[in-house]
């Protein structure tokens, strides 16, 4: 796209840093809200934003909670050294995983705030609303699709919606390590609280009862070891009966030979999905 024909506006709204990317002279256009992956920031959405603007769609990219312009030290150092707030063995990754789910929950709240803010923006038609996210941002997109009835279409990159299963699998794996068992058992009460938090956050049931059969595209990478494609594959099978009358509105797209990253081809596929359904 000729960058002279699109505008990127950077602003902080309600403490949430955003980039709004839209075609010049935009008026009453569909809008997609985008969230990046863990440790990244809103600028990772610029390529997709350019593609969408060229197709006549606005995009609002946001820094997730504790990321980007509001970077928190726990994100800056979480993979380098334990935090004083950690309760599990550092090598288990359990504290970092729980922190990510806390970030997902807060970022979904922040996105809802932004959606309400832009609902009166003449550039955008909030009734033609899409959500999109990569990895952790995909968790946010799934959560918003399940929670927020105004969402009309969703695309997720290298992500899944099985929050509770992910957490319980990580607990089981960590608990099977003899070196960590005593420490993990000593914080059982807190683990139960954290599990309850993730259970109520999990979007799986509401995706079936509240979002389906709205358009959902799940894009996964064939060689992804961070978020294996089996999660999305199972979700596709669970959702399939809810799309029986609308089979074209549910799609699982594999990109073979790709690790845990988002490619330009994936972004083009997302653009085409939003063009079609928004």
- pLDDT tens string 155-193: 999 999 999 999 999 999 999 999 999 999 999 999 999
Q: For 24-77, give the DSSP string.
A: TT--SEEEEEEE--TT--GGGGHHHHHHHHHTT-EEEEEPPTTSGGG--HHHHH
**Per-residue DSSP letter, 10:** E
Give bridge partners of residue 7 from the DSSP assignment. 22
For residue 130, is it within any domain?
Answer: yes
106 within a domain of the structure (yes/no): yes
Give the lowest-confidence range in 28-42, 78-92, 102-116. 78-92
Tell me if 9 is assigned to some domain.
yes
- Would you say residue 221 lies in a domain? no
Res. 272: pLDDT tops 70: yes
| Structure-block tokens of residue 94 | 């359990």
The pLDDT confidence band at residue 4, using thresholds 50, 70 and 90, is low
pLDDT confidence of residue 81: 86
Say whether the peptide bond before residue 213 is cis (omega within 30 degrees of 0).
Answer: yes
25 phi and psi, to 5 degrees?
65, 30
Contact (CB, 8 A) for 24 and 48:
no
What pLDDT band is residue 234 in, cutting at 50, 70 and 90?
very high
Query: Which CATH number do you get for residue 53?
Result: 3.40.50.1820
Per-residue pLDDT band for 3 (boundaries 50, 70, 90) equals low
The residue written with tokens 């033609």 in the block is 128
Burial 172-198 (b: 16+ CB within 10 A, else e): eebeeeeebeeebeeeeeebeebeebb
pLDDT of residue 105: 98
The pLDDT of residue 230 is 92
Alpha carbon of residue 142 to chain centroid? 6
Looking only at the bridges linking them, the beta strands covering 216-221 and 151-157 are parallel
Task: Judge whether residue 134 has pLDDT over 90.
Answer: yes
Instruction: Give the span between the Cα atoms of 8 and 185, in whole angstroms.
Output: 50
Confidence of residue 42 (pLDDT cuts 50, 70, 90): very high
The DSSP string of 141-195 is: HHHHHHH-TTEEEEEEES--S-HHHHHHHHHHHHHT-TTTHHHHHHTHHHHHHHH
Q: Could you give the angle at the alpha carbon of 145 between the alpha carbons of 277 and 8, nearest 5°? A: 65
Percent of the chain with pLDDT over 90: 93
Calculate the average pLDDT of the chain: 96
Whether residue 225 lies inside any domain: the answer is: no
Tell me the β-bridge partners of 157: 134, 219
Residue 278 CB coordination number (10 Å): 21
Query: In this predicted structure, what is the pLDDT of residue 47?
Result: 97
pLDDT recorded at residue 100: 97
- Specify the number of domains making up the chain: 1
**Does the pLDDT of residue 121 top 70, yes or no?**
yes
Contact 201, 105 (CB under 8 A): yes
In a domain, 226, yes or no: no
| pLDDT: which is higher, 235 or 76 | 235
Q: What is the pTM of this model?
A: 0.96
Domain span including residue 114: 3-216+235-277
Look at residue 35 and tell me if it is in a domain: yes
Nearest CA to 5 among 61, 72, 55?
Answer: 55
Instruction: Indicate if the pLDDT at residue 2 is higher than 60.
Output: no
Is 1's pLDDT higher than 60? no
Phi, psi at residue 123, to the nearest 5°? -70, -25
Best CA proximity match to 62, nearest among 120, 112, 102, 119: 112
Question: Is 230 contained in some domain?
Answer: no
Q: What value does the mean pLDDT take over residues 85-92?
A: 94
pLDDT at residue number 74: 85
């Amino acid at each position: 796209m000729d960058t002279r024909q699109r505008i990127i506006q950077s602003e902080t709204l309600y403490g949430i840093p955003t980039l709004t990317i839209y075609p010049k002279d935009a008026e009453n256009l569909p809008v997609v809200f985008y969230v990046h992956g863990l440790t990244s920031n809103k600028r990772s959405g610029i390529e997709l934003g350019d593609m969408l603007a060229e197709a006549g769609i606005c995009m609002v990219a946001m820094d997730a909670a504790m990321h980007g312009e509001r970077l928190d030290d726990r994100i800056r150092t979480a993979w380098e050294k334990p935090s004083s707030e950690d309760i599990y063995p550092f090598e288990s990754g359990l504290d970092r995983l729980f922190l990510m789910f806390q970030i997902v929950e807060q970022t979904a709240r922040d996105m809802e705030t932004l959606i309400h803010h832009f609902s009166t923006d003449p550039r955008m038609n909030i009734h033609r609303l899409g959500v999109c996210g990569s990895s952790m941002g995909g968790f946010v997109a799934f959560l918003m699709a399940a929670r927020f009835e105004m969402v009309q279409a969703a695309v997720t990159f290298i992500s899944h919606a099985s929050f509770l299963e992910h957490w319980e699998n990580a607990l089981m794996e960590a608990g099977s390590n003899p070196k960590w068992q005593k420490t993990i058992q000593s914080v059982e009460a807190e683990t139960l609280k954290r599990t309850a938090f993730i259970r109520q956050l999990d979007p799986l049931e509401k995706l079936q009862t509240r979002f389906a059969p709205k358009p959902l595209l799940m894009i996964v990478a064939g060689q992804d070891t961070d978020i294996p494609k089996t999660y999305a594959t199972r979700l596709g099978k669970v959702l399939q009966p809810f799309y029986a009358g609308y089979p074209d509105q549910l799609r699982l797209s594999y990109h073979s030979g790709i690790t845990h990253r988002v490619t330009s081809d994936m972004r083009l596929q997302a653009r085409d999905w939003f063009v079609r359904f928004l």
